[in-house]
């Protein structure tokens, strides 16, 4: 508690000097950069391969940038690559995926958000039990339930149809989305809900007029989750959508893995890129929200 | 304007009984404060009155209406919450008018009512702002406005000032009291802050474990606590409680401290002649003598008064207008509140004498006042 | 208002109950109902259509005497253990590095996570191309002068499953990293201040203080990875179609092929039931632990 004597004037003073090239920094940035290069290479290879001609590919350096850039493979992948019997390219699959994506995304989010809302604010006897069952359902290997679902959909007349695959995506998206919304709504102060009830608002009015406008971020997170999830789905598409509605991933597999004769690696990579394009764009645009989406419900407590 | 009557209320969550056999009458225009430590059931009771919780048994009347099964909106109540609970995406005007819009009032009426309330609370300038752009005090004003605008007989307040800083809390407290005088509505106010309770209330209901311990005016609660819990809970620093035994000598009731045995043989105890008993005392009854810190008189020298003890001071805490001295009497912790101009040093011994007309005596077993 | 009716217990909260119908239907019909159906029919000799001719454990006997199933189980074990170990170690290390208050944190995170946005189909096809024995990375190394260099992962019966591990790690490690980073950020910063004042080296703080504190995060991550491992299917289909031979078959593919390809429903259902039991064996202790933890917290 004694004051410092003025003789200390010679010692260190002011802000502590920082070394930019410390060993620690070199290790940290070095390792991260090497790892980042490893992670980027496949994307880079996909792009350069898709822009090369076949002869150039056969010369054998997959890392080399194209000597002569050609968009031929892209055109062929989109328009005329053969999937088994027909040769109409990926475009059919693309539009099928769009047709599946839009209704599935909206219906699943609409249902799950109302579910999450009911579970947070309007608990009734047994609601928690059903929710736990639903969550456990997220861990059941799909293989166990795919066949009975085929029968159910056939009974409903929805097997191998657009309606069928939309229903399937809604059902399988429900556990994680409901969890997402429930956790979000649980963080909304209960008093807000009480205030709205005293003001005379009921179930739907509180949801639509109070909660919906303040929950836009979580809806965007759900949207990202569903868009990438449904677009990337292969398994449900191949089983429930029916040949006419095969999504893009299924068409891609057919193009790459079932073609006879010469393997057109450049067309394959163009097709692969085309299929991955939408989720990649969503990913790069959404940034932090995507991260929030995948971490949602995962890291709690 | 309406009264609130709660008859034989029961509420349990699963196996836990939260409120049991609860009766409460709040007169028309009365300001009633529910006071108690957290978890005592005071907010739960308020939520029951509001209809936000379904009760298991009993009845609730607001005015002449039995509202036991009515929806919150049909009960004729307005409610103000601790976290303000303003709708974040609506501006102040929309927040105030939401209830009216739900009820389907015409635009002209809504505009007129909002303007009226905004004038009363002096928030006219804030009408177009979103809650996020308001200070804590302004938010709470808007929240009060939202209750006001609904033109109801009963206002319910759930710890409305707890989120505000000390100064704002005092300011708004006074404003609330003024508002009550001006409007004359029935108000039920939940708080754990005894200062708020004592200053605001017409009557206070002190609660513990879902039971109303005492329902009385602030004066009654403070000066004639009905049991040991109320005595200890209300007052800061809390009441001194000394354990001892009652006995009788020459038709005079006396109190003797438990730790007095070591003292002078001549010492018989404090005379209770002036103490207003409310129940019949018994010889040998184990009791606690309660005396508020400000009702102790400190003197330098031993007086002749029989009702005085040796008080050993070890710490002095200046509080501004007065001073609290912490120390002990016969080994038991003891505190005394004296005026700021009373000068003395720590580690001295003084004589402490009590004004027994203002003391309280509780039975040790039941905790009840005698 | 004197006339307010006693609300009927069933009708109370009606909107919420109606709104929850899809959830209840999904939980009961799809998750519980369909699982039970599958288990029951796994004891029948159903071929292309479900039939109630019960044959006891016949399907299971056949299952475990099938080379392909045994190989599938072995593969999923190799795949699972490699994936768990490497993704946890690499994911955690990357998270620690990103947690050093570095510049370009967002850029690095974006790079490590982007494969997670891609489908298994896309992931599998890229790596199929990268690991192509003739024209892939191997040929680049050969051109550098190492003339005998070969990457035979995809064409080898012994190692084809490891090719799938590599692709799987590339796709999923970013997720582990993000979960770990969220866990690290959730640690009270005062812990770091305290350990600095006490002079404990950073690596020791991580190992002995932070990692134990992150136990719940590790458990959750483990469960997420594990539930993904059991389901692995598209990736195998894209990269190897289970080949060469049956060397990279996995249980999920076995189930699918027997149900839809070979019209041997009973066999497929038996295999799926075994998958379900394995998951339940892991899941039940975990949910029990979670539940117990929550109870402790609430006390």
What residues of A are in contact with residue B131 (Cβ under 8 Å)? none
| Most confident listed range (A181-190, C73-82, C242-251, C278-287) | C73-82
Question: For residue C4, is pLDDT > 50?
Answer: no
Q: Is C285 within 8 Å of chain B by CB? A: no
Q: Determine the residue of chain C that is closest to B75 in CA distance.
A: C1
Min Cα–Cα distance to chain B from C7, Å: 7
Domain hosting residue C231, numbered range: 71-298
C6 vs B64, B65, B69: nearest CB: B69
| Residue C12 within any structural domain of the chain | no
Does A236 contact chain C (CB < 8 Å)?
Answer: no
**Which chains sit next to C, with 3 or more Cβ pairs under 8 A?**
A, B
Give the C-alpha separation, A197 to B99, whole Å: 9
Nearest chain C CA: its distance from A56 CA (Å): 11
CA distance C10 to chain B (A): 14
Asked whether C31 and A145 are in contact (CB, 8 A), the reply is yes
Which residue is closest to B151 within chain A, CA to CA?
A199
B98 Cβ under 8 Å from any chain A Cβ? yes
User: How far apart, in whole angstroms, are the C-alpha atoms of residue C287 and residue C206?
Assistant: 27
Cβ within 8 Å, pair C275-A144: yes
User: In angstroms, how far is CA C188 from the centroid of its own chain?
Assistant: 30
Chain C interface includes A286 (CB < 8 A): no
Q: Give the whole-angstrom CA distance, residue A268 versus residue B331.
A: 91
User: Rounded distance, CA B175 to CA C226, Å?
Assistant: 60
Query: Which residue in chain B is spatially nearest to A201 when comparing CA positions?
Result: B102
Chain A residues with at least one Cβ partner in B under 8 Å: 189, 191-192, 194-201, 205, 209-210, 213-214
CATH number at residue C273: 1.10.3720.10
Q: Which residues on A lie below 8 Å from C122 (Cβ)?
A: 232, 249, 252, 272, 275-276
Give the list of residues 6+ apart from residue A3 with CB closer than 8 angstroms, or none. none
Bridge partners, B189 (sequence order) = B33, B157
Domain spans of chain B?
4-233, 240-363
C251 found inside a domain: yes
Q: Which helix (H) or strand (E) holds B350?
A: strand B349-354
| Amino acid B332: pLDDT | 83
Contact call for B74 and C6, based on CB within 8 A: no
CATH topology of domain B4-233: Rossmann fold (3.40.50)
Whether C13 contacts chain B with CB within 8 A: no
Q: Which chains would you list as touching B if contact means 3+ CB atom pairs under 8 Å?
A: A, C
Cβ–Cβ gap A199/B77 under 8 Å: no
Q: According to the model, what pLDDT value does residue B222 have? A: 93
pLDDT of residue C12: 67
pLDDT tens by residue, C129-149: 898 888 888 888 888 877 777
Tokens of A47: 């792009």
Instruction: Check CB contact of A95 with chain C, cutoff 8 Å.
Output: no
Is 70 exceeded by the pLDDT of residue C294?
A: no
For residue B162, what are the CA distances in angstroms to A189, B194, B209, C1? 16, 12, 21, 34
Can you say whether the dihedral through the CA atoms of B98, B99, B105, B108 is positive or negative? negative
Q: How far is C161 from chain A, CA to nearest CA, in Å?
A: 18
Contact B98 A192 (CB under 8 A): no
- State yes or no: pLDDT of B3 exceeds 60: yes
- How large a percentage of chain A has pLDDT more than 70? 93
User: Which one has a higher pLDDT value, C297 or C167?
Assistant: C167
Query: What would the DSSP string read from start to end of B94-159?
Result: HHHHHHHHHTT--HHHHHHHHHHHHHHHT-GGGTTS-GGGS-HHHHHHHHHHHHHTT--SEEEEES
Does B69 sit within 8 Å of C7, measured CB to CB? Answer: yes
Confidence of residue A299 (pLDDT cuts 50, 70, 90): very low
Number of structural domains in chain C: 1
Share of chain C above pLDDT 70, in %: 93
Interfacial A residues in 105-124 facing C (CB < 8 Å) = 111, 114-115, 117-119, 122-124
Interface confidence (ipTM) of the complex: 0.85
Mean pLDDT of C261-274: 89
Band of residue B362 on the pLDDT scale cut at 50, 70, 90: very high
- In this complex, the residue of A40, A233, A294 whose CB is nearest that of residue C178 is A294
If we measure between CA atoms, which residue out of C228, C229, C224 comes closest to residue C80? C229
Contact residues on chain C for A251, CB-CB shorter than 8 A:
none
pLDDT band at B166 (very low <50, low <70, confident <90, very high): confident
User: Nearest CB to B73: which of A189, A198, A214?
Assistant: A198
Q: How far is A78 from chain C (nearest CA, A)?
A: 16
Task: Tell me which residue in A189, A192, A200 faces B102 most closely, judged by beta carbons.
Answer: A200
What is the distance between the alpha carbons of residues A195 and A208, in angstroms, rounded to a whole number?
15
Beta-carbon separation of C259 and A147 below 8 A: yes
Instruction: Give the residue among B250, B242, B262, B234 at the shortest CA–CA distance from B307.
Output: B242
pLDDT higher than threshold 70 for residue B42:
yes
What's the confidence (pLDDT) of residue A62?
A: 83
Contact A234, A253 (CB under 8 A): yes
Q: So what's the pLDDT on residue C295?
A: 56
pLDDT beyond 50 at A218: yes
- Provide the angle, in degrees to the nearest 10, between the axes of the packed helices A91-121 and A72-79: 70
Which strand ranges, in their side-by-side order, compose the sheet holding B77-80? B77-80, B154-158, B186-191, B31-35, B203-208, B211-216
Q: Does C297 touch chain B (CB under 8 A)?
A: no
- C216 to C133, C222, C294: CA distances (angstroms): 42, 10, 11
Q: Which of A189, A195, A213 is nearest residue B79 as measured by Cβ atoms?
A: A195
- Out of A76-90, B11-25, B202-216, least confident range: A76-90
Question: Does C5 fall in a domain?
Answer: no
Query: Which CATH number, 3.40.47.40, 2.40.50.140, 1.10.3720.10, 3.10.20.30, labels domain B240-363?
Result: 2.40.50.140
Contact A198 B72 (CB under 8 A): yes
Closest among A296, A288, A261, A270 to A48, alpha carbons compared: A270
Per the omega criterion (within 30 degrees of 0), is the bond before C244 cis?
yes
Question: Quick check: is C229 in a domain?
Answer: yes
| Dihedral of alpha carbons B281, B286, B291, B292, sign | negative
Burial readout A229-261 (b: 16 or more C-beta within 10 A, e: otherwise)? bbbbbbbbbbbbbbeebbbbbbbbbbbbbebee
DSSP A206: I
Among B56, B69, B73, B152, the strongest candidate for a mutation testing the C interface, having the largest count of C CBs within 10 A, is: B69
Q: Domains for chain A: give ranges and CATH numbers.
A: 93-247+268-295 (1.10.3720.10)
The end-to-end CA distance of chain C, in Å, is 42
Average pLDDT, chain B: 87
* Rounded Cα gap, residues B328 and B291, in angstroms: 14
Closest CA to A43 of B302, C122, C249: C122
Per-residue pLDDT, B155:
93
Average pLDDT score, chain C: 85
């Amino acid at each position: 508690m004694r004051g410092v004597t003025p003789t200390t004037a010679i010692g260190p003073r002011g802000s502590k000097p920082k070394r930019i090239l410390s060993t620690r920094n070199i290790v940290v940035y070095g390792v991260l950069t090497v790892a980042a290069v490893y992670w980027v290479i496949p994307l880079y290879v996909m792009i350069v391969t898709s822009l090369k001609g076949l002869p150039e590919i056969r010369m054998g350096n997959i890392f080399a940038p194209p000597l002569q850039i050609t968009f031929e493979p892209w055109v062929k992948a989109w328009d005329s690559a053969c999937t088994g019997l027909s040769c109409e390219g990926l475009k059919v699959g693309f539009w099928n995926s769009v047709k599946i994506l839009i209704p599935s995304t909206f219906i699943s989010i609409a249902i799950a958000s109302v579910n999450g809302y009911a579970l947070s604010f309007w608990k009734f006897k047994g609601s928690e039990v059903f929710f736990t069952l639903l969550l456990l359902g997220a861990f059941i290997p799909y293989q166990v339930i795919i066949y009975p679902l085929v029968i159910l959909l056939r009974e409903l007349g929805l097997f191998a149809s657009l309606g069928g695959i939309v229903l399937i995506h809604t059902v399988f998206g429900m556990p994680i989305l409901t969890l997402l919304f429930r956790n979000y709504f649980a963080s909304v102060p209960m008093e807000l809900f009480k205030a709205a009830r005293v003001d005379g608002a009921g179930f739907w009015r509180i949801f639509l007029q109070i909660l919906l406008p303040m929950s836009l971020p979580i809806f965007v997170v759900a949207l990202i989750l569903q868009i990438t999830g449904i677009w990337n789905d292969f398994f449900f598409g191949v089983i429930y959508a029916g040949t006419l509605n095969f999504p893009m991933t299924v068409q891609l597999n057919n193009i790459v893995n079932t073609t006879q004769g010469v393997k057109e690696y450049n067309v394959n990579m163009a097709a692969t890129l085309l299929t991955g394009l939408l989720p990649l764009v969503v990913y790069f645009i959404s940034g932090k929200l995507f991260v929030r989406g995948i971490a949602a419900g995962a890291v709690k407590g | 304007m309406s009264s609130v009557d709660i008859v034989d209320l029961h509420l349990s969550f699963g196996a836990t009984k939260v409120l049991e056999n609860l009766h409460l009458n709040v007169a028309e225009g009365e300001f009633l404060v529910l006071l108690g430590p957290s978890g005592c059931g005071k907010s739960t009771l308020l939520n029951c009155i509001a209809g936000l919780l379904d009760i298991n048994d009993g009845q609730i009347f607001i005015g002449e209406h039995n509202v036991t099964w009515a929806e919150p909106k049909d009960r004729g109540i307005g409610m103000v919450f601790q976290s303000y609970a303003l709708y974040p995406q609506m501006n102040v005007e929309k927040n105030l008018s939401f209830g009216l819009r739900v009820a389907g009032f015409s635009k002209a009426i809504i505009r007129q009512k909002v303007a009226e309330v905004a004038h009363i609370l002096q928030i006219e300038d804030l009408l177009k702002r979103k809650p996020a752009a308001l200070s804590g005090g302004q938010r709470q004003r808007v929240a009060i406005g939202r209750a006001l605008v609904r033109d109801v007989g009963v206002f319910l307040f759930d710890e409305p000032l707890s989120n505000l800083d000390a100064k704002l809390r005092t300011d708004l407290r006074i404003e609330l009291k003024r508002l009550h005088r001006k409007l004359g509505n029935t108000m039920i106010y939940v708080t754990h802050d005894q200062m708020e309770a004592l200053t605001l209330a017409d009557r206070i209901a002190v609660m513990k474990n879902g039971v109303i311990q005492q329902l009385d005016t602030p004066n009654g609660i403070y000066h004639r606590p009905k049991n040991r819990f109320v005595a200890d809970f209300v007052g800061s620093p809390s009441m001194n409680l000394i354990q001892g035994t009652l006995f009788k000598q020459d038709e005079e009731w006396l109190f003797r401290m438990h730790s007095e045995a070591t003292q002078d043989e001549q010492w018989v105890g404090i005379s209770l002649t002036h103490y207003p008993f409310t129940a019949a005392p018994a010889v040998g009854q184990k009791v606690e003598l309660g005396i508020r810190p400000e009702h102790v008189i400190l003197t330098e020298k031993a007086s002749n008064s029989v009702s005085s003890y040796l008080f050993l001071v070890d710490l002095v805490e200046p509080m501004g207008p007065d001073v609290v001295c912490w120390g002990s009497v016969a080994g038991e912790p003891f505190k005394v509140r004296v005026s700021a101009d009373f000068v003395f040093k720590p580690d001295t011994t003084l004589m402490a004498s009590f004004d027994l007309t203002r003391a309280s005596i509780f039975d040790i077993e039941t905790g009840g006042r005698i | 208002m004197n006339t307010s009716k006693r609300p009927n217990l069933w009708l109370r909260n009606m909107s919420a109950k109606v709104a929850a119908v899809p959830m209840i239907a999904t939980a009961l019909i799809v998750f519980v109902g369909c699982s039970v159906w599958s288990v029951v029919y796994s004891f029948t000799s159903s071929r292309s259509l479900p039939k109630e001719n019960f044959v006891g454990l016949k399907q299971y006997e056949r299952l475990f005497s099938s080379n392909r199933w045994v190989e599938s189980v072995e593969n999923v074990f190799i795949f699972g253990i490699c994936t768990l170990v490497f993704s946890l170690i690499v994911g955690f290390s990357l998270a620690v590095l990103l947690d050093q208050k570095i510049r370009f944190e967002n850029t690095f995170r974006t790079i490590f996570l982007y494969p997670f946005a891609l489908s298994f189909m896309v992931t599998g096809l890229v790596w199929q191309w990268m690991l192509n024995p003739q024209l892939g990375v191997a040929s680049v190394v050969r051109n550098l002068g190492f003339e005998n260099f070969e990457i035979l992962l995809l064409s080898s019966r012994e190692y084809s499953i490891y090719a799938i591990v590599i692709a799987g790690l590339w796709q999923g490690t970013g997720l582990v990293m993000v979960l770990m980073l969220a866990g690290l950020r959730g640690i009270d910063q005062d812990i770091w201040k305290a350990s600095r004042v006490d002079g404990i080296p950073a690596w020791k703080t991580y190992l002995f203080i932070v990692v134990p504190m992150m136990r719940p995060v590790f458990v959750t991550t483990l469960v997420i990875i594990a539930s993904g491992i059991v389901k692995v299917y598209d990736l195998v289909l894209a990269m190897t179609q289970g080949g060469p031979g049956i060397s990279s078959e996995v249980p999920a593919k076995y189930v699918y092929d027997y149900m839809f390809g070979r019209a041997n429903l009973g066999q497929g259902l038996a295999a799926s039931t075994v998958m379900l039991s394995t998951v339940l064996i892991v899941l039940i202790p975990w949910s029990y632990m979670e539940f117990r933890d929550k109870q402790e917290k609430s006390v």
